[in-house]
Amino acid sequence: MTSATPEYGQDEMAHPLPRTSIVDRLPWLVEQCRGRRVIHVGFADAGFRAEQGRAGRWLHGHLDEVADELVGLDADEPGVTAAREAGYDVRLVDCTDPAAVAALDLAPADVVLAGEIIEHLGAPGPFLDAMATLCAPDGTLIVTTPNAYGLVNVVASITRRVEVNHPDHVVMFTWRTLTQLMARTGWVVQDTVTYVPTVRERGDRSRLESFAVRAVLGLERLLGRLGRPYSADGLIVTARRD
């Protein structure tokens, strides 16, 4: 029997945000994985791996230097093939399919890192269900994703009438919507931090545009120091199983 949907009032629309701080995403994630067994989901960074590699910011490569054990999972066949040929332990799998993920029969991980992937998925709920099959009972799931309320898009929409988004994104999360989805799929949020993204160079970006983007990101860092870290363009949420 399905329970009735409760009635809500306007006062229940405002959700307090937890106190947090802005971190540098790459080194922060590397430290969470140091000396631990890690399963990195969405490791291939499809569409941007070559660029990230040139910039020295391909996360999976950095994790490989510090993790005690590292397994990569991705649905991008060319990325998986290239990483396997480079010597990485990686598997091709649809991580929105809990049965397919369970069929990999991987040893549970101390850290399951889902980095910049959930916003690409049409089925984020089943994806979070699948992550439970990878995580040790005392392990943690770390989800990183763009922040729907980040200043870059706010400023871009006002000043240029454009939206700044990865071509493959299908959903954007706020802290509330992400943590609510995680709670519905059996995860208990332990911690939240935010991050300011690294500016990717673009050949056709004017000097004025580059300056404007860097200025907005600088403002995000300043607001973070002033106690307003949710102005930043990225969220990192750490959770354990309920």
Cα 60 versus chain centre, distance: 13
Give the span between the Cα atoms of 43 and 36, in whole angstroms: 17
Here the tokens at position 97 are 């399919």
Give the span between the Cα atoms of 204 and 28, in whole angstroms: 31
25, 100, 184 from 237: Cα distances, Å: 12, 25, 15
Kindly tell me the sign of the dihedral angle through the C-alpha atoms of 101, 69, 27, 49. Answer: negative
Residue 225 makes CB contacts below 8 A (sequence gap 6+) with 22
The pLDDT score that the predictor gives to residue 188 is: 98
Q: Would you kindly state where each structural domain of the chain is located, as residue ranges?
A: 18-199+206-241
The pLDDT score that the predictor gives to residue 46 is: 74
The pLDDT score that the predictor gives to residue 11 is: 73
Under the phi-then-psi rule, with left for phi > 0, alpha for psi from -120 to 50, and beta for the rest, what region is 101?
alpha
Half-sphere exposure of 224 (CA within 13 A, CB side): 24
DSSP state of 118: G
Mean pLDDT by 10 residues, the chain (242 residues): 70 87 96 98 79 73 98 97 96 98 98 97 97 97 96 88 88 97 97 88 61 87 93 97 91
The pLDDT score that the predictor gives to residue 156 is: 85
Q: Find, among 36, 25, 70, 58, the residue nearest to 236 by Cα.
A: 25
Residue 20 makes CB contacts below 8 A (sequence gap 6+) with 191, 192, 193, 194, 229, 230
Where does 18-199+206-241 sit in CATH, by number?
3.40.50.150
Alpha helix positions (H), 86-206:
98-103, 124-132, 151-159, 175-184
Residue 59 near residue 43, CB atoms below 8 Å: yes
